[in-house]
Amino acid sequence: MAKDKVALEGALDESVVERQKSAQETKAPKAGQPKQPKKGKNESRPNIFRRIGKVFREMISELKKVEWPHFARTKNNPGVWANLGTVIIVVLFFLVIITAFDSGLLALLRLLVGAEAAA
């Protein structure tokens, strides 16, 4: 409680104290209630296919909530096509960079493997 008085600079609000007391009471298990048995490894989660299905159902429900613009509105908007062009250019740029890096590493690997085979 002393920390609360310091945090509130001496002005102790009774509602803060009551909330803290109620939070402490809810955290502590009551003595008369039996403990819940722990679930086994197989009982803790549904199988992988049910979880994947749940993810896709939630994803579809969220996409239904999105207010999508009409195609006629986006078709004539030059900003959409400019952004699309930017994305395509960036993807192609990184495609070239990653392909060159991959080819260089492959050539280095072939050089190292070829040197071991001759020795």
Q: What is the pTM of this model?
A: 0.41
What is the spatial distance between Cα 60 and Cα 48, in angstroms, rounded to a whole number? Answer: 19
What is the spatial distance between Cα 111 and Cα 106, in angstroms, rounded to a whole number? Answer: 9
- pLDDT, one tens digit per residue, over 43-60 is 677 899 999 999 999 999
Local structure of 1: helix, strand or coil? coil
- pLDDT, one tens digit per residue, over 59-116 is 999 999 999 888 888 888 888 889 999 999 999 999 999 999 999 999 999 999 986 6
